[in-house]
Chain A
Amino acid sequence: MDQALRRKVGPEGKVSYLEVRNLTKRFGDFTALRNVSLDVAEGEFVCFLGPSGCGKTTLLRAIAGLEPQSSGTIRQKERDISALPPSQRDFGIVFQSYALFPNLTVTANVGYGLASQRRKRTETAARVVELLALVGLPEAGAKYPSQLSGGQQQRVALARALATSPGLLLLDEPLSALDARVRMRLRHEIKALQRRLGVTTIMVTHDQEEALTMADRIVVMNHGVIEQVGPPAEIYRAPATAFVADFVGSMNFLAGKLEAPDRVRLGNLVMSCPIQDGLESGAAVSLCIRPEDVRVRDLPAEAANRVDVTVTELDFIGAFCRATLVAGELSLVADFSSNLIRDLGVVVGASLAIALPPDRLRVFAA
Chain B
Amino acid sequence: MSLVLAASAVRASREDLAMRAGVVALVAILLLIVGLPLWSLLVKGFQDVDGHFVGLANYRAYFASPALFNSALNSFDVAALSTTIVVPLAFLYAYGLTRTTMPLRWLFQGISLIPIFAPSLLPGIALIYLFGTQGFFKALVGGQIYGMKGIVIAQVFYCFPHAVLIMTTALRTADARLYEAADALRASKLRIFLTVTLPGAKYGVVSAAMVVFTLVITDFGVAKVIGGNFNVLATDVYKQVIGQQNFSMGAVVGMVLLAPAALAFVVDRLVQRKQVALLTARAVPLVPRPSPGRDAFFTLFCTVIAIGILAILGMAAWGSLIKYWPYNLSLTWENYDFEKFDANGWESFGNSVRMAVGAAIFGTALTFVGAWLTEKTRGFGAVRGLVQLLAFLPMAVPGLVLGLGYIFFFNAHGNPLNFLYATMAILVINSVAHFYTVGHLTAATALKQIDPEFEAVSASLKVPVWRTFLRVTVPICLPAILDIAIYLFVNAMTTVSSVIFLYAPDTKLASVAALNIEEAGTTAAAAALCLVIVATSAAVKVLHLLADRFLLDRLQAWRRR
Contact = CB atoms under 8 A, between A and B. Distances in A.
Interface in A77-113: 80, 82-89, 91-93, 95, 97, 99, 101-104, 112-113
**Of listed A92, A101, A117, A160, residue having the most chain B CB within 10 A:** A101
Given A83-B11, A144-B557, A144-B558, A164 B453 contact: no
Given A73-B6, A103-B476, A64 B13 contact: no
B50 interface: no
Interface stretch (B329-337, B359-367, B460-468): B460-468
A43 interface: no
B561 interface: yes
Contact of B4 (A66, A73, A86): A73
Contacts of A93: 456-457, 460
Contacts of B454: 99, 101
A56 B454 CA distance: 20
**Of listed B9, B461, B557, residue having the most chain A CB within 10 A:** B461
A310 interface: no
Contact of A116 (B2, B462, B475, B558): B462
Contacts of B7: 69, 71-73, 80, 82-83
A20 to B, nearest CB: 12
B412 to A, nearest CB: 43
A87 B13 contact: yes
Contacts of B15: 85, 87
Interface string A285-318: 0000000000000000000000000000000000
Interface in A198-247: none
B323 to A, nearest CB: 56
B11 A84 contact: yes
A65 interface: yes
Contacts of A71: 6-8
Contacts of B463: 112-113, 115-116
Nearest to B561: A146
Given A71-B6, A164-B461, A99 B11 contact: no
A68 B10 contact: yes
Contact of A83 (B10, B378, B456, B460): B10
B549 interface: no
A264 interface: no
Interface in B445-502: 451, 453-454, 456-464, 467, 471-472, 475-476
A31 interface: no
A83 B9 CA distance: 6
A250 interface: no
B268 interface: no
Contacts of A102: 476, 558
A144 B557 CA distance: 9
A131 interface: no
A151 interface: no
Contacts of A85: 10-13, 15-16, 378, 459
Interface string B1-42: 010111111111101100000000000000000000000000
A86 B454 CA distance: 13
B556 interface: yes
Interface string B501-545: 000000000000000000000000000000000000000000000
A64 B461 contact: no
A342 B557 CA distance: 61
Contacts of B464: 116
Contacts of B5: 83
Contacts of B472: 101, 103-104
Nearest to B558: A144
Contacts of A99: 451, 453-454, 456-457
B387 to A, nearest CB: 21
Interface in B206-238: none
**Of listed B378, B454, B558, residue having the most chain A CB within 10 A:** B558
Interface residues of A, number: 42
Contact of A103 (B378, B461, B475): B475
A334 B451 CA distance: 46
B16 to A, nearest CB: 6
A163 interface: yes
Contacts of A88: 13
A73 B2 CA distance: 13
Interface in A154-195: 160-161, 163-164, 166
Given A80-B2, A87-B13, A101-B472, A116 B457 contact: no
Nearest to A147: B561
The secondary-structure label for the interface of chain B is: loop
A116 B456 contact: no
A70 interface: yes
Nearest to B476: A103
B561 A113 contact: no
A37 to B, nearest CB: 13
A148 to B, nearest CB: 11
B462 A164 contact: yes
B281 to A, nearest CB: 14
B467 A97 contact: no
Contact of A86 (B2, B460, B467, B560): B460
A53 B7 CA distance: 25
A115 to B, nearest CB: 8
B12 to A, nearest CB: 6
B446 to A, nearest CB: 13
Given A87-B462, A144-B557, A72 B6 contact: yes
A87 B467 contact: no
A274 B495 CA distance: 84
B476 to A, nearest CB: 6
Contacts of A104: 471-472, 558
A92 B460 contact: yes
B456 A64 contact: yes
A352 B478 CA distance: 71
B459 A87 contact: yes
A86 B456 contact: yes
Nearest to A67: B10
Contacts of A69: 7-8, 10
Contacts of B471: 101, 104
B89 to A, nearest CB: 41
A64 B458 CA distance: 12
Contacts of B475: 103
Contacts of A160: 457, 461
A99 B378 CA distance: 18
Nearest to B454: A99
A329 to B, nearest CB: 44
A88 B462 CA distance: 8
Contacts of B9: 68, 83
Contacts of A113: 460-463
Nearest to B456: A66
A352 to B, nearest CB: 47
Contacts of A103: 472, 475-476, 556, 558
A122 to B, nearest CB: 20
Contacts of A163: 461
Contact of B8 (A70, A87, A95): A70
Given A66-B459, A73-B6, 20 more contacts: A68-B9, A69-B7, A69-B10, A71-B7, A72-B7, A83-B5, A86-B456, A87-B13, A88-B13, A89-B460, A92-B460, A92-B461, A99-B453, A101-B454, A104-B471, A112-B461, A116-B461, A117-B462, A145-B558, A164-B462
19 contacts: A72-B6, A73-B4, A80-B4, A83-B7, A85-B12, A86-B10, A86-B13, A87-B15, A87-B460, A87-B462, A99-B454, A104-B471, A112-B458, A112-B461, A113-B461, A116-B464, A144-B558, A147-B561, A160-B461
Interface of B: 2, 4-13, 15-16, 378-379, 451, 453-454, 456-464, 467, 471-472, 475-476, 556-561
Interface of A: 64-66, 68-73, 80, 82-89, 91-93, 95, 97, 99, 101-104, 112-113, 115-117, 144-147, 160-161, 163-164, 166
Q: Which 3 A-B pairs have the closest CB atoms?
A: A113-B461, A85-B13, A68-B10
